[in-house]
C-alpha cells in the first residue's frame, strides 16, 4: 500500500499552515530560555574565567580575590563537582580542566548577584599557567600526527587496481574552513532546585535527554532527579546538539551548591569564543576517470579539524564518508577518515553534519578535473549519476535513483540552462573585466541518524474531557517548526480540527530517552511517535463510538470535528461530545506513542550497512557575476528543484530550503573563521568573534532571483504521510554558487583553465584564483598522473 493510499480523506497535513509561533515571533512575545530569567528571585549570574592561552597547564588557582568583589557569591571549581568532572559523552571534556586546550577554555566560573559583578569577579581570579605548544591548523596536526578517535576506512572493490586502468589519473588536495552557527539566541541555561531537592534546568538544547544525562552524571544523581525543558531555541543548526550540556551542568552545580537559581548565558563574543563550530576539512585525493568522464576510481583521505575534544567528530566523519559519492557511481573506492586534534573550540554538528564536507570534496574534484578532461563539468556530473539498482560505497541500494535525473531535467528546463549558458558566453566574450557563469550541481542526501539507535522517538498525547488535545513529543523547536508539523499530523491521525490541538514544550519528564532533534529526522521520528499515540486513542474512541451508534467499528467516520456511523440514523456527535461521553464510560484518553525506523543497520568499523531510511534528491543552478578588479561576486539568480516527497507543510519546507541554501552560500563564499595561528601571546585567539569581523549573509547577499520548486509526484512510500526531510540537504545546493564563481574566474584565463578556488570563495580568494589564471596557471593545482597520449 502506498503512503498516498494510507492518507485519509481531507488530511490537514500538506496544507500551508503558517509557523505555529509566527505571531509570537514577529511581535516579540515568544519566550526563549533567557526570557525566563526575570521570573526567578535571587537569581545568580555566571561568568567564566577563560584561558588566555591556546594550550597550557593550570599550575595555580586563587579564587579568594574574586570573593572580595561586591556581589560575588561563589566561585565554582572542580572541588564543587559531586559526580563526574566531565561534560562530554566521550569523557574527554573535563568540565573544570587542569590542562586548558584552547584560548577561552573556562578554568572556573564565578557566580554573582549581577552579571557585572560576575565579570569583575572573574577578572579578579588569579590563575597560573605553564604554557604548552599548541597546534592551530589541521596541516600542523597531520604533520605532528596528532589524531583523536576512530580512523574508519570505507572500501569497495580495488581502487589501486582500477586506477591503473583509468584513462586519466589526477591528484590534488581540497581544504575547507569551518563555519560559525550564529544562531540568534546564544547558549543559555537556567537551573534551579525545587522543594524536594530535584534539579530543573531550562536549556537552549537540541538534545534535552543528553543534557539531562550529562547534568545527572556531573551531579552524581539518577536521571529521574533531573528535568530538562526546552521551550524553543532561537536557532540551533547543530550547535546545540552537544554543546549545551556543559553549560547546563555549570548552572546545575551552581544551583545545588548555593540553593539559588543560576543563569548562565553567553554573550555573542563568549559564545563564538567558547562553543564548537562546523568542522573544517582537509582532503588529499587521487581520482581515475575514463575517457568519457566517468569515474573509474577514487582514493581519498579526509581529515577533520576536530578541535580540542571529540564531541560529535566521529559521527560527523562517518557522514562525510557516506556523502563523498554525492549522487555519483564510483565503482572502486577507498576513503580513509581521521580526526585531527587542534587547540581550538571542539568542533561539532552543523547543518549537514559532515555530509556537505564529503560532497564538497567530490564536487571540487569535478570542478577542477572537468577542464583537464575537456568535458563540461555539468556533463561530467550527469554522466556519473547513479542508475537504479546500484549501491553506495557503504553498501546501501540507492533507492529511487531515477529521481536524480528527473530533478536534473526539471531544473535544466525551468532554469533554461542551455539558453542562458549561450547568453553568458556572449556576455563574457564582450566583457574583459566582468565575467558571468552558470553552474549546476546535484544533491543526494541520506536521511536518518547513521547511529541506528538514535532512530527512535516517543510521544505522550493527552485528550482532555473538553476534547482539547495536548501533544508532548521529544522534538525541539529551533525555528524549523516541529509543532507546526506535529499538530497537523495529530489532527489528521485523529481526525480532529487543528484548533483543538496544542503542542507542549519539550520536557524530559514527559517523554523520556529522546534523540537529538537532528539529522533532519525530527519530523519523521517524532511525527511517527505522535501518529502512533493518536492512532491508539482513535481506535479506542472508534470502538466506543461503534457501541454508541450500534454499528460495526469500520462504519465509524471521524470527519471535521464530528463523528457518525455509516448506516446509522442517529445524528453525528461532535468530537467534544464523544470525548466527554467516553470519559464517563472510562475509556482511556491518553497514550504513549513510540516509533522506530525499521530496516536500518550500520557498522561504524567497516563503514558498511543501511544507515539511511531514504535519500533526498535536489539540484541547483546558480548564476554569478564576478568582478575582475576585486574578486567580488554577486549571485544573480538561483533555481532549485527539490524532492520533499509530499510536503507536510509547504510553507515551512520552502522556508527551510531558502534558509538552508543561503546559510550554505554564506559558508562557501563569505563566512571566514580566522584564528591567530602565530606562536606567542596572541596564539589561539579567534579573531572573528563578532558580527563585525565574521561576515554573514544578509538580505543584500540573497540572490536577486531565487526560484524554488518541489519535485512533482514525489510521494515516498513507507514514511509518515509520504513526506521527506528538508532541514539540512538544501544547504549543500550552495555548492552551485562556488562552482559558478570558479567557472567565472576561469573565464578570465585561457579557454579550458582549471581553477583552484578557496572555500570560502571570498572576494580575496576569488581574486587570487583569477590572478592565477591570468598569470597562466591552468592546472587548478591538480597533478596529472596519467592522460591518453
Ligand atoms: N531551521 C531553523 N530555522 N533553525 C535551526 O536551527 N536547524 C537545522 C534544520 N533547520 C535549524 C533549522 C538542522 S541542523 C536540522 S538537523 C534540522 O533543522 C532539525 O529539525 P528537523 O529534523 O525537524 O528538520
Ligand atoms: Mo542538525 S546538524 O543534524 O542538528
Per-residue three-class SS string for 130-141: EECCCCCCHHHH
Q: Does residue 728 carry a catalytic annotation? A: yes
Please tell me the distance between residue 518's alpha carbon and the centre of ligand 2 in angstroms: 4
Q: Is 611 in the pocket of ligand 1 (CB under 6 A)?
A: no
Question: Does the structure show a pLDDT above 50 at 7?
Answer: no
Q: Is 326 in the pocket of ligand 1 (CB under 6 A)?
A: no
Q: What is the pLDDT of residue 716?
A: 78
Q: Is 238 in the pocket of ligand 2 (CB under 6 A)?
A: yes
Q: Is 240 in the pocket of ligand 2 (CB under 6 A)?
A: no
271-295 pLDDT tens trace: 999 999 999 999 999 999 999 999 9
In testing the pocket of ligand 2, which one of 519, 667, 732 has its CB within 8 Å of the most ligand atoms? 519
474 φ, ψ to 5°?
Answer: -85, -5
Please tell me the distance between residue 781's alpha carbon and the centre of ligand 2 in angstroms: 33
Q: What is the pLDDT of residue 647?
A: 78
Q: What is the pLDDT of residue 4?
A: 32
Given the residues 728, 739, 750, 771, select the one marked as catalytic. Answer: 728
By DSSP bridging, strand 469-473 and strand 456-463 are antiparallel
Q: What is the pLDDT of residue 739?
A: 98
Q: Is 521 in the pocket of ligand 1 (CB under 6 A)?
A: yes
436-448 pLDDT tens trace: 999 999 999 999 9
Determine how many CB atoms are found less than 10 A away from the CB of residue 447. Answer: 24
Provide mean pLDDT across the span 367-380.
98
Residue 8 pLDDT class (50, 70, 90 cuts)? very low
By DSSP bridging, strand 705-710 and strand 469-473 are unpaired
Q: Is 307 in the pocket of ligand 1 (CB under 6 A)?
A: no
Q: What is the pLDDT of residue 12?
A: 54
460-496 pLDDT tens trace: 999 999 999 999 999 999 988 776 677 777 777 667 7
6/43: higher pLDDT: 43
Please tell me the distance between residue 731's alpha carbon and the centre of ligand 1 in angstroms: 11
Q: The C-alpha cell of 267 is what?
A: 554573550
Q: What is the pLDDT of residue 3?
A: 32
* Strand ordering across the sheet containing 590-596: 501-503, 469-473, 456-463, 590-596
Provide mean pLDDT across the span 225-235.
97
DSSP 3-state assignment of 201? strand
Provide mean pLDDT across the span 370-388.
98
Rounded CA-CA distance 181/604 in Å is 27
Residue 26 pLDDT class (50, 70, 90 cuts)? confident
Q: What is the pLDDT of residue 1?
A: 25
Q: What is the pLDDT of residue 676?
A: 98
Please tell me the distance between residue 610's alpha carbon and the centre of ligand 1 in angstroms: 23
Q: Is 519 in the pocket of ligand 2 (CB under 6 A)?
A: yes
Rounded CA-CA distance 711/84 in Å is 50
Question: Does the structure show a pLDDT above 60 at 6?
Answer: no
516-569 pLDDT tens trace: 999 999 988 999 999 999 999 999 999 999 999 999 999 999 987 899 999 999
CA 482 to ligand 1: nearest atom: 23
State the chain's mean pLDDT as an integer: 94
Q: Is 456 in the pocket of ligand 1 (CB under 6 A)?
A: no
In testing the pocket of ligand 1, which one of 480, 481, 523, 652 has its CB within 8 Å of the most ligand atoms? 480
By DSSP bridging, strand 199-203 and strand 226-230 are parallel
Please tell me the distance between residue 288's alpha carbon and the centre of ligand 1 in angstroms: 37
∠ CA 433-425-414, rounded to 5°: 120
Residue 16 pLDDT class (50, 70, 90 cuts)? low
Q: What share of the chain is helix, strand, coil (3-state, %, to 5)?
A: 35, 25, 40
Between helices 355-373 and 313-321, what is the axis angle to 10°? Answer: 30
Compute and round to an integer the Cα radius of gyration of the chain: 28
Nearest ligand to the C-alpha atom of residue 728: 1
Nearest ligand to the C-alpha atom of residue 659: 1
Please tell me the distance between residue 604's alpha carbon and the centre of ligand 1 in angstroms: 25
Residue 64: exposure state from Cβ atoms within 10 A (0-12, 13-18, ≥19): exposed
Nearest ligand to the C-alpha atom of residue 312: 2
Across the strands, what pairs with 686? 675
Q: What is the pLDDT of residue 722?
A: 74
Rounded CA-CA distance 132/137 in Å is 16
Q: What is the pLDDT of residue 715?
A: 81
Please tell me the distance between residue 5's alpha carbon and the centre of ligand 1 in angstroms: 29
In the chain, what percentage of residues exceed pLDDT 90? 88
Across the strands, what pairs with 178? none
Across the strands, what pairs with 706? 638
Residue 5 pLDDT class (50, 70, 90 cuts)? very low
Q: Is 183 in the pocket of ligand 2 (CB under 6 A)?
A: no
Nearest ligand to the C-alpha atom of residue 516: 2
pTM above 0.75, yes or no: yes
Please tell me the distance between residue 671's alpha carbon and the centre of ligand 2 in angstroms: 19
Q: What is the pLDDT of residue 778?
A: 95
Nearest ligand to the C-alpha atom of residue 185: 1
- Residue with CA at minimum distance from ligand 2 atom 4: 238
Q: What is the pLDDT of residue 83?
A: 98
Q: Is 349 in the pocket of ligand 2 (CB under 6 A)?
A: yes
Q: Is 523 in the pocket of ligand 1 (CB under 6 A)?
A: yes
For 251-379, list the strands marked E by DSSP: 262-265, 281-289, 295-305, 332-340
Q: The C-alpha cell of 191 is what?
A: 537551573
Rounded CA-CA distance 452/524 in Å is 14
Question: What are the angstrom distances between the C-alpha of 697 and each of 534, 635, 637?
Answer: 42, 12, 16
Q: The C-alpha cell of 567 is what?
A: 448506516
Q: The C-alpha cell of 382 is what?
A: 550527469
CA 238 to ligand 2: nearest atom: 4
328-344: burial string, b at 16+ Cβ within 10 Å, e else: bbbbbbbbbbbbbbbbb
CA 475 to ligand 1: nearest atom: 23
**Which H or E run includes 774?**
helix 763-774
Residue 406 pLDDT class (50, 70, 90 cuts)? very high
Q: What is the pLDDT of residue 720?
A: 67
Question: Does the structure show a pLDDT above 50 at 646?
Answer: yes
Q: Is 656 in the pocket of ligand 1 (CB under 6 A)?
A: yes
In testing the pocket of ligand 1, which one of 478, 519, 651, 660 has its CB within 8 Å of the most ligand atoms? 478
Residues in Cβ contact with 122 at an 8 Å cutoff, skipping those fewer than 6 apart: 47, 48, 49, 66, 109, 110
Provide mean pLDDT across the span 338-360.
98
Q: Is 241 in the pocket of ligand 2 (CB under 6 A)?
A: yes
In testing the pocket of ligand 2, which one of 518, 656, 725 has its CB within 8 Å of the most ligand atoms? 518
162-208 pLDDT tens trace: 999 999 999 999 999 999 999 999 999 999 999 999 999 999 999 99
Q: Is 729 in the pocket of ligand 1 (CB under 6 A)?
A: no
Please tell me the distance between residue 357's alpha carbon and the centre of ligand 1 in angstroms: 18
By DSSP bridging, strand 44-50 and strand 262-265 are parallel
Question: Does the structure show a pLDDT above 80 at 641?
Answer: yes
In the chain, what percentage of residues exceed pLDDT 70? 97
Question: Does the structure show a pLDDT above 80 at 144?
Answer: yes
Residues in Cβ contact with 463 at an 8 Å cutoff, skipping those fewer than 6 apart: 469, 537, 579, 589, 590
Sign of torsion over alpha carbons 138, 143, 149, 153: positive
Cell numbers 556523502: residue = 323
- 645 CB-side CA count, 13 A: 25
For 239: left if phi > 0, alpha if psi spans -120 to 50, otherwise beta; the answer is alpha
Question: Does the structure show a pLDDT above 70 at 134?
Answer: yes
Provide mean pLDDT across the span 129-156.
98
Q: Is 278 in the pocket of ligand 1 (CB under 6 A)?
A: no
In testing the pocket of ligand 2, which one of 204, 322, 351, 451 has its CB within 8 Å of the most ligand atoms? 351
Q: The C-alpha cell of 323 is what?
A: 556523502
Amino acid at each position: 500500500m502506498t503512503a498516498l493510499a494510507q492518507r485519509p480523506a481531507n488530511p490537514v497535513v500538506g496544507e500551508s499552515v503558517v509557523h505555529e509561533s509566527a505571531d509570537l515571533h514577529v511581535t516579540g512575545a515568544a519566550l526563549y530560555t533567557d526570557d525566563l530569567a526575570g521570573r526567578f528571585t535571587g537569581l545568580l549570574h555566571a561568568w567564566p574565567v577563560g584561558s588566555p592561552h591556546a594550550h597550557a597547564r593550570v599550575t595555580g588557582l586563587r579564587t579568594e580575590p574574586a570573593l572580595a568583589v561586591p556581589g560575588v557569591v561563589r566561585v565554582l571549581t572542580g572541588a564543587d563537582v559531586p559526580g563526574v568532572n566531565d561534560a562530554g559523552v566521550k569523557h574527554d571534556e573535563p568540565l573544570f580542566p587542569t590542562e586548558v586546550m584552547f584560548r577561552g577554555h573556562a578554568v572556573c566560573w564565578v557566580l554573582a548577584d549581577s552579571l557585572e559583578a560576575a565579570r569583575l569577579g572573574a577578572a579578579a581570579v588569579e590563575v597560573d599557567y605553564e604554557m604548552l605548544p599548541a597546534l592551530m591548523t589541521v596541516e600542523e596536526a597531520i604533520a605532528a600526527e596528532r589524531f583523536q578517535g576512530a580512523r574508519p576506512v570505507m572500501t569497495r572493490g580495488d581502487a589501486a587496481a582500477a586506477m591503473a586502468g583509468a584513462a586519466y589519473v589526477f591528484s590534488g588536495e581540497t581544504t575547507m574552513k569551518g563555519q560559525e552557527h550564529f544562531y540568534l539566541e546564544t547558549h543559555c541555561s537556567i537551573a534551579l532546585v525545587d522543594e524536594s531537592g530535584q534539579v530543573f534546568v531550562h536549556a537552549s538544547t537540541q538534545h534535552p535527554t543528553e543534557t539531562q544525562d550529562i547534568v545527572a552524571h556531573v551531579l552524581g544523581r539518577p536521571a529521574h532527579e533531573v528535568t530538562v525543558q526546552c521551550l524553543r531555541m532561537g536557532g540551533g543548526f547543530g550547535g546545540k546538539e552537544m554543546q549545551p550540556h556543559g553549560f547546563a551542568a555549570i548552572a546545575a552545580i551552581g544551583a545545588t551548591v548555593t540553593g539559588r537559581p543560576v543563569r548562565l548565558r553567553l554573550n555573542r563574543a563568549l559564545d563564538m569564543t567558547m562553543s564548537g563550530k562546523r568542522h573544517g576539512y582537509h582532503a588529499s585525493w587521487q581520482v581515475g576517470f575514463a575517457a568519457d568522464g566517468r569515474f573509474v576510481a577514487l582514493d581519498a583521505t579526509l581529515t577533520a579539524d576536530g578541535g580540542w575534544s571529540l564531541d560529535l567528530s566521529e559521527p560527523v566523519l562517518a557522514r562525510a564518508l557516506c556523502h563523498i559519492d554525492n549522487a555519483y557511481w564510483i565503482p572502486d573506492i577507498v576513503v580513509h577518515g581521521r580526526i585531527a586534534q587542534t587547540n581550538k573550540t571542539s568542533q561539532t554538528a552543523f547543518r549537514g553534519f559532515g555530509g556537505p564536507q564529503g560532497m564538497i570534496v567530490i564536487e571540487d574534484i569535478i570542478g577542477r578535473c572537468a577542464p583537464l578532461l575537456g568535458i563540461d563539468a555539468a556533463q561530467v556530473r550527469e554522466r556519473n549519476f547513479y542508475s537504479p539498482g546500484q549501491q553506495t560505497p557503504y553498501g546501501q541500494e540507492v533507492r529511487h535513483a531515477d529521481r536524480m535525473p528527473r530533478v536534473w531535467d526539471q531544473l535544466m528546463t525551468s532554469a533554461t540552462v542551455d539558453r542562458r549558458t549561450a547568453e553568458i558566453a556572449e556576455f563574457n566574450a564582450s566583457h574583459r573585466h566582468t565575467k558571468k557563469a552558470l553552474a549546476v550541481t546535484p544533491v543526494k542526501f541520506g536521511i536518518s541518524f547513521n547511529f541506528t539507535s538514535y532512530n527512535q522517538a516517543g510521544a505522550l498525547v493527552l485528550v482532555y474531557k473538553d476534547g482539547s488535545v495536548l501533544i508532548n513529543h521529544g522534538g525541539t523547536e529551533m525555528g524549523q517548526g516541529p509543532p507546526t508539523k506535529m499538530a497537523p499530523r495529530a489532527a489528521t491521525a485523529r481526525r480532529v480540527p487543528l484548533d483543538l490541538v496544542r503542542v507542549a514544550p519539550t520536557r524530559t519528564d514527559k517523554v523520556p530517552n529522546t534523540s537529538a532533534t537532528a539529522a533532519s529526522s525530527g519530523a519523521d521520528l517524532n511525527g511517527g511517535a505522535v501518529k502512533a499515540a493518536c492512532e491508539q486513542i482513535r481506535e479506542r474512541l472508534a470502538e466506543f463510538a461503534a457501541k454508541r451508534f450500534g454499528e460495526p467499528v469500520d462504519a465509524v467516520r471521524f470527519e471535521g470535528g464530528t463523528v457518525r456511523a455509516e448506516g446509522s440514523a442517529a445524528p453525528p456527535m461532535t468530537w467534544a461530545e464523544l470525548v466527554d461521553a467516553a470519559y464517563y464510560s472510562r475509556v482511556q484518553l491518553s497514550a504513549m506513542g513510540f516509533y522506530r525506523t525499521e530496516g536500518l543497520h550500520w557498522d561504524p568499523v567497516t563503514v558498511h550497512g543501511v544507515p539511511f531510511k531514504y535519500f533526498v534528491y535536489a539540484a541547483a543552478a546558480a548564476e554569478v557575476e564576478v568582478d575582475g578588479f576585486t574578486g567580488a561576486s554577486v549571485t544573480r539568480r538561483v533555481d532549485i528543484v527539490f524532492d520533499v516527497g509530499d510536503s507536510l507543510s509547504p510553507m515551512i519546507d520552502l522556508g527551510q530550503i531558502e534558509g538552508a541554501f543561503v546559510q550554505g552560500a554564506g559558508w562557501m563564499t563569505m563566512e571566514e573563521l580566522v584564528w591567530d595561528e602565530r606562536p606567542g601571546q596572541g596564539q589561539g585567539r579567534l579573531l572573528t568573534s563578532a558580527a563585525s569581523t565574521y561576515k554573514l549573509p544578509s538580505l543584500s547577499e540573497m540572490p536577486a532571483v531565487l526560484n524554488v520548486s518541489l519535485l512533482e509526484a514525489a510521494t515516498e512510500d513507507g514514511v509518515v504521510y509520504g513526506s521527506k526531510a528538508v532541514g539540512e540537504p538544501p544547504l549543500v545546493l550552495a555548492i552551485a554558487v562556488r562552482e559558478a564563481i570558479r567557472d567565472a574566474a576561469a573565464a578570465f584565463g585561457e579557454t579550458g583553465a582549471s581553477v583552484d578556488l578557496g572555500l570560502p570563495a571570498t572576494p580575496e580568494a576569488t581574486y587570487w584564483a583569477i590572478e592565477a589564471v591570468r598569470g597562466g596557471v591552468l592546472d587548478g593545482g591538480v597533478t596529472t598522473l596519467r592522460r591518453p597520449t
